[in-house]
Amino acid sequence: MSTTPFIGAREYFPGIGRIAFEGRDSDNPLAFKVYDADKRIGDKTMAEHLRFAVCYWHSFCGAGHDPFGPGTRAYPWDAGDGKPLQKAEAKLDAAFEFFTKLGVPYWCFHDIDLSPDDDDIGTYESNLKHMVALAKARQSDTGLRLLWGTANLFSHPRYMNGASTNPDFAVVARAAVQVKAALEATVELGGGNYVFWGGREGYATLHNTDMKRELAHMARFLTMARDHGRSIGFKGNFLIEPKPMEPMKHQYDFDSATVAGFLKDHGLEKDFKLNIEANHATLSGHSFEHDLQVASDHGLLGSIDANRGNPQNGWDTDQFPVDLYDTVGAMLVVLRQGGLAPGGLNFDAKVRRESTDPADLFMAHIGGMDAFARGLEVAHALLTASPWEQWRRDRYASFDGGDGKAFEEGGLDLAALRALAGKAGEPAQVSGRQEQYENLLNQYLLR
C-alpha cells in the first residue's frame, strides 16, 4: 500500500501521518498498541485475519446529527457552495486519505454516500458512474479494496413503507434502480460482497400489513438481484444484515436464526450469507457472540459489522467496539470457522456527537482495531495453547462411542433409549464449569 500522506488536491487530516504500531508501552493516542498488520497469528498475519474496513457513511457523511439537533462536525469536504458532485469528489479524497493513513485494507459504501442522490434516474445513475470511476482510480493508487457495496433503500421518503416489501409495486420497481446500480458499482470496484440491510423492510403495525405477501416480495426481489449479480460476473457473497427493529417497529430480518430460515425457505442459502452487526444482535436480545455462532453453525457467517451498543440504551448507538470480552467471543467463532474471507470486519460505528476533532475519528478506529487484534490473539491462544477446546470436547465424550454414538448416527429409537436408561439408573451430576472457562479467558486476556 502506498505511504503517500494524501492523494487528492488537498490534505483533509493535516498533522496526522500514517498510523504506526508502537506496542503496548506507547502512550501515543495516534498509534496502535496491539494491531501490528504483519504480525503472524497462526497461519495468517493480523491483517489477513481481521480484514478491517472503514465505512463511508458514519465516517464521512454523518456529521453527528440526532433527533434533537443537527450535526456538530463541520466537514471541510462538505463546506462551501460547490455542486453536489464536487463535494462528493472532495469527500472521496478525504476518505481515501483517511483509509491510507489508518492503514486499513478495505472500505464499504452505500450508493448515495459515495455519490449525490437524485430523483431523476438518469442523473442518479450517471452521478454514481462518475464517482465509481474516480473511486476505482483511487483504489488503484492506494491498494485499497472494496469489502462491500450496498444501496440505501431507507433514507428517501419514497421508502417510508419499505423498499422490496413496499405495498406499492411502483416503489418496489424504483428500489430496483438503486440495487441494480449499486450492484454494478460493486462489481466495477471489485467488491467481494454485496450487502442488503433491510432498512425499512418490516412494519409499523400489523393492522395494515400482509406480512406473508411482503416476505414473498422480498424473496422475489433478492432472487432477481442474485440473478442480475451473477449475470454481470459478481462472484462474491450476497449478505443479509439482520436487525430486529429500528427504524421499523419490527424488521423482517430479525436475527441470524430468522434470516437463515428465510434463506433456506427461498433457496437463497447458496448465494447469500449473513453480515452480523454487534449492536443489532444485542437489540434482538442476544449477545453478539450468539448471533455469530448461529450464523456460523448454519454455514452462513459471511462478514461482520463491528460496533457495540450501550447496555443502558435500547437503540442502535453504533459505538466503536472496545470490549475485549466481545472481541474474544467474536474471534473464537471466526477462528473456529476458519476465517471470514471474502468478508471482513467493517467498522459500522460512529464517533460520539461530542467528539468533534478529526483526530477522534482516527482514535476511534485505532481503538476498535486494537480491541479486535487483542481478541484475535487471545482467541487464538485459547484455541491452540489452552485446554479450552479439550474441555468442551470432553463435555460431549459420551457421544463419541457406544450408545451415544449410535444415537447421533440414528441407530436407536425412543424405546431403545428407554431401555438403556432403565439399565443405567439415575445419571450422575456433571458440572458445567462456567467459572472455570471464565477464569481461563481472563487469565489469557491478562497475559
Q: Which one of ligand XLS, Ni ion, none is in contact with 113 (Cβ closer than 5 to 8 A by kind)?
A: none
Of the candidate residues 111, 201, 255, 305, the single one contacting Ni ion (CB under 5 A):
305
130 is catalytic: no
CA-based nearest residue to 94, from 152, 145, 54? 54
Question: Is 241 labeled as ligand-binding?
Answer: yes
**Residue 197 interacts with ligand XLS (CB under 6 A)?**
yes
Supply the minimum distance, in Å, between the C-beta of residue 160 and Ni ion.
19
110 is catalytic: yes
**Residue 253 interacts with Ni ion (CB under 5 A)?**
no
Question: Is 318 labeled as ligand-binding?
Answer: yes
CB contact at 8 A, 347 and 4? no
The residue type found at 42 is G
Omega before 247 cis (within 30°)? yes
Find the catalytic residue in 49, 58, 93, 110: 110
Give pairs for 231-237: CB < 8 Å, separation 24+.
Answer: 232/183, 232/184, 232/187, 233/187, 234/183, 234/186, 234/187, 234/194, 236/148, 236/191, 236/192, 236/193, 236/194, 236/342, 237/192, 237/193, 237/194, 237/271, 237/272, 237/273, 237/302, 237/303, 237/342, 237/343
**Residue 370 interacts with Ni ion (CB under 5 A)?**
no
Of the candidate residues 348, 369, 372, 444, the single one contacting ligand XLS (CB under 6 A):
348
Question: Is 141 labeled as ligand-binding?
Answer: no
Supply the minimum distance, in Å, between the C-beta of residue 55 and Ni ion.
8
Query: HSE-up of 301 (CA within 13 Å, CB side)?
Result: 27
Of the candidate residues 111, 113, 253, 305, the single one contacting ligand XLS (CB under 6 A):
305
Question: Is 316 labeled as ligand-binding?
Answer: yes
Of the candidate residues 127, 142, 150, 282, the single one contacting ligand XLS (CB under 6 A):
150
Question: Is 266 labeled as ligand-binding?
Answer: no
**Residue 214 interacts with Ni ion (CB under 5 A)?**
no
Considering only residues 265 to 284 of the shown chain, the ones binding Ni ion according to CB under 5 A are 277
Question: Is 365 labeled as ligand-binding?
Answer: no
Provide the 3-class DSSP secondary structure of residue 48: helix
CB contact at 8 A, 141 and 172? no
Q: Which one of Ni ion, ligand XLS, none is in contact with 184 (Cβ closer than 5 to 8 A by kind)?
A: none
CA-based nearest residue to 277, from 242, 248, 323, 327? 242
Q: Which residues bind ligand XLS (CB under 6 A)?
A: 110, 150, 195, 197, 241, 243, 277, 305, 316, 348
**Could you give the residue numbers annotated as active site?**
110, 113
Contact residues: Ni ion, CB under 5 A: 277, 305, 316, 348
